[in-house]
Amino acid sequence: MPTLNKAEIEKILQTTMNNPDLYLSAFTHRSYLNENRSFHLPHNERLEFLGDAVLELAATEYLYRNYPHPEGELTNFRSALVNYKMLSEIARRLGFEKFLLMSKGEAKDTGRARQVILANCIEAVIGAMYMDSGYQACTNFIGREILVELPKIIEGETYLDPKSRLQELVQEKSGITPTYGVVSESGPDHNKTFVVAAFVGNDEVGRGEGPSKQEAEIAAAENALNNNKF
């Protein structure tokens, strides 16, 4: 039966685990139960639901108290802080990946799907911590490991998504609004990959792919920003 290294988790989270099963559940992906039906704990989605709310409240309260910006900017700051890419980077930095319980198939995937699993896991861990030790323990962890990323986000203006940044830059230069078009799509309906090109007028300035048109558009805008061809 899988167990967590209690001392190692406590060191990472800097909190005492009163109920280790909560944390073991937080590291358990739904797919693991498909291959281990006798496992005694539920997967982490309910804890993720709880942790997402705790994280959002803690981030919102911190932003409100420390940043006198308009609501729209605060919303952008928060979105950049708690999106799946940022959370997955933090989860990797903390070493959460080695604790994940997943199916053999999921364990082989190292792309976007793994990022989402890691992001969900860190939210589930926050949910477990809330149930185990209360809100203050969560805010201590969130402040130390997640909110610490805010200055970098604000200084680098990464709170503006690539499409918004590209639009601002292109409109400053030429007064034109970039457009996007699907170049190709492949794969079954439940697992499609879209390739999208970004255009300024008739000129293609970037190209990207993703599991949805929206994410492919964001990748194309990011590619255009990196290429600086506009």
Active-site entry in 48, 106, 123, 145? 123
Please name the CATH architecture into which domain 6-155 falls. Orthogonal Bundle (1.10)
pLDDT of 78 reads 93
Note whether 6-155 and 162-227 share their fold: no
In this structure, what DSSP letter does residue 212 have? S
For domain 162-227, the question of CATH label 3.10.450.50 is answered with no
Residues in the chain with pLDDT values less than 50: none
3-class SS at 20? helix
Active-site entry in 52, 106, 145, 217? 52
**Annotation marks residue 52 as catalytic:** yes
pLDDT digits 0-9 by tens, 70-128: 998 898 899 889 988 899 999 999 999 999 999 988 878 777 788 989 999 999 999 99
**Annotation marks residue 35 as catalytic:** no
Q: What angle do CA 172, 179, 198 make, to 5 degrees?
A: 95
In this structure, what DSSP letter does residue 134 have? -
The full set of domain ranges for the chain reads: 6-155, 162-227
Helix (H) or strand (E) holding 198: strand 193-200
